[in-house]
Structure 1
């Protein structure tokens, strides 16, 4: 079969993030099953018009604003595809109206208020308005997403057919859970693109709250992005320079080592499709403390695999973190349950489910339901 993914960025784009990581995972799995897989994205400086990434055929053309027209022009010269996947990031590709074949809309999150994290005034309001209108336009197109919160938002906008398939992560759960009592200095971690919608500045303010309460801590921030200069300034303004370390982007093994050493992952995003880094931390035996934001309340189950703060404020986040410092038994329970649950979200468990479903969609089945994933991972707990 021939599959086409339409996504604004490809894996080599300098601004590629979690969406591109999971997209690449699905497409590589399809390729390993013998299918022909193509990925169209907008062009960027230094990116070749065509590139083969280990069997993935990458095509780049057009600008952010002109990519849809460029995709249509390129598509007209291609042999027929069996399935086109139209990935939404605030704006879609409108492929159901020009591809001529079965199309699936793939969406991580309805951006909603995230528009206001990147734009101001009329531009943000218009972005939010058009997103809602466009999703309504797609209401008869089958949608693929990963979280119940996104599913509910799509249903509110009139979408009729929504298929839920969880995300997968490459991080394989530890074969044995390390002994790691909670204590001071408290080791905290953030793993994120450093963008305004991730609200990492609120993690910094939560750390200031904890320090003011006499908690000794250290914070490691893994990631890069446009918001880093602001975060560096906030670190200095809050007097946190002695306890905060910015690592930039790290290789997977080094990132896993940071997560394995940390007592807690902190996540304060405005909205997430899911929260892949939560599951990555869980696989390393580290629970998360997160804001009660869409997506995060699914990747972290409150008082089961981590904690969800009462409010989306630094003070509330600090309260949740502090509650674990005096209750190691509770912390160990969260660690154990988070580690076990991470086995459900390893790629080896998720990819067969996703690929089976995509093949059935491409074959023309009218309403193929995804099959449940089988856990892969941890076997032994500490003695």
Structure 2
């Protein structure tokens, strides 16, 4: 069978992230089952028109505002596909209206409040309205998402069918869990793209509250992005230079070492599709303390594999850390439970069910997308 993924970014795009990593894993698995897999994405500076990554044929064309038209033009020159995967990142590809074959929608998170982090009013309001309207138009198209939080958000927007497959992780869990005493200073880490929606400034402010509470702590910030300069400036303003290390992006091996050395991963995002780096940290024997938002409440089990703060504020995050720092036995339980649970998200456990479902979608009788989507 022939599968096509439509995604604004491909794995070689400098702005690619977790969505692209997991998308590549699914398409590579389909190739391993004897299928053909294609990926159409936007151009980026220095990109080639065509590429091949792990057997996936990458085709690039157009950019913001033009890539849908480029995709349609390219598509009409290809042999028929059995399934088109229309991946949404705020704005979809509108494939059900032009692909003339089986089509599903793939979405990591409903952006919702994330629009406010990137755009001022009224653009942010228009973005949120457009997203909800789009889901309503797609209501009869099968959706695929990694978390129950996103499933519920889509159902609230009128979507009728949503399949959940939690994301797998490339990070292999440690073969054995070595002791990691909860000794001071607390070693905290955040791993993400340094973008407005990740709210790394909240992690920095939580560190300030911890120090003010008399809990010696250190924070390592792993990643690069558009707000890196502002975050460094904030650390200077709060006089935290001595307690924060900005590493920039790290290789997978160095990232895993940093995660293994930390006591806690801190995640303060506005919303996530799943919280991939939570499971990556868990695989390294490091529990997470996260905000109570979509995705993060799915990847962390409160009081079992880590803590979910009761509110989205640096103060409550710091209070959770203070509480745990006083209970080494509870911390040890969090570590063990997180490590054991991370093993259930190994790709060899996730991919078979997801690929079975994708093949099932591809085998369906060809629908009438225009009629179904009205």
TM > 0.5: yes
- The yes-or-no answer on 1:247 pairing with 2:247 is yes
Distance in 1 (CA, whole Å) between partners of 2:74 and 2:55 is 19
Structure 2 counterpart of 1:210: 210
Distance in 1 (CA, whole Å) between partners of 2:353 and 2:365 is 15
Distance in 1 (CA, whole Å) between partners of 2:182 and 2:54 is 43
Structure 1 counterpart of 2:110: 110
Structure 1 counterpart of 2:26: 26
SS in 2 for 1:25: helix
SS in 2 for 1:332: helix
- The yes-or-no answer on 1:72 pairing with 2:59 is no
Distance in 2 (CA, whole Å) between partners of 1:254 and 1:365 is 48
Structure 1 counterpart of 2:317: 317
Q: What are the Cα deviations for residues 73-103 of structure 1, in whole angstroms up to 9, with x where unaligned? A: 1100000001000000000000011000000
> In the TM superposition, what is the alpha-carbon distance from 1:365 to its structure 2 partner?
7.7
> In the TM superposition, what is the alpha-carbon distance from 1:35 to its structure 2 partner?
1.1
Alignment of 1:32-43 (within 5 A): 32-43=32-43
Q: CA RMSD in A?
A: 1.0
Structure 1 counterpart of 2:160: 160
Distance in 2 (CA, whole Å) between partners of 1:154 and 1:161 is 9
Structure 2 counterpart of 1:133: 133
Structure 1 counterpart of 2:100: 100
- The yes-or-no answer on 1:336 pairing with 2:331 is no
Distance in 2 (CA, whole Å) between partners of 1:188 and 1:310 is 19
- The yes-or-no answer on 1:262 pairing with 2:262 is yes
Alignment of 1:39-50 (within 5 A): 39-50=39-50
Structure 1 counterpart of 2:227: 227
Q: What are the Cα deviations for residues 52-90 of structure 1, in whole angstroms up to 9, with x where unaligned? A: 123110011001111111110110000000100000000
Structure 2 counterpart of 1:199: 199
SS in 1 for 2:38: strand
Q: What are the Cα deviations for residues 227-279 of structure 1, in whole angstroms up to 9, with x where unaligned? A: 11111111111111111111111111111100111000000000000100000
Distance in 1 (CA, whole Å) between partners of 2:60 and 2:287 is 39
Structure 1 counterpart of 2:181: 181
Distance in 1 (CA, whole Å) between partners of 2:78 and 2:46 is 24
Query: TM-score, length-normalised on structure 2?
Result: 0.96
More divergent stretch after superposition (355-364 vs 283-292): 355-364
Distance in 1 (CA, whole Å) between partners of 2:166 and 2:153 is 17
Structure 1 counterpart of 2:345: 345
Structure 2 counterpart of 1:6: 6
Structure 2 counterpart of 1:361: 361
Distance in 1 (CA, whole Å) between partners of 2:54 and 2:22 is 16
Query: TM-score, length-normalised on structure 1?
Result: 0.94
Unaligned runs of 5+ in 1: 367-383
SS in 2 for 1:321: helix
Distance in 2 (CA, whole Å) between partners of 1:33 and 1:16 is 26
Distance in 2 (CA, whole Å) between partners of 1:234 and 1:183 is 27
Distance in 2 (CA, whole Å) between partners of 1:53 and 1:108 is 22
Distance in 2 (CA, whole Å) between partners of 1:157 and 1:353 is 26
Structure 2 counterpart of 1:372: none
SS in 1 for 2:62: coil
Distance in 2 (CA, whole Å) between partners of 1:253 and 1:14 is 19
Distance in 2 (CA, whole Å) between partners of 1:163 and 1:310 is 28
Q: What are the Cα deviations for residues 305-351 of structure 1, in whole angstroms up to 9, with x where unaligned? A: 00011110000000001111110000001111111110111112111
> In the TM superposition, what is the alpha-carbon distance from 1:360 to its structure 2 partner?
1.4
SS in 2 for 1:71: helix
For the structure 1 residues 65 and 208, does the alpha-carbon distance in structure 2 shift closer, same or farther, using more than 3 Å as the test?
same
SS in 2 for 1:236: helix
Structure 2 counterpart of 1:190: 190
Q: What are the Cα deviations for residues 201-242 of structure 1, in whole angstroms up to 9, with x where unaligned? A: 000000001111121111111111111111111111111111
SS in 2 for 1:106: strand
Moved over 2 A (4+): none
Q: What are the Cα deviations for residues 114-138 of structure 1, in whole angstroms up to 9, with x where unaligned? A: 0000000111111111110011000
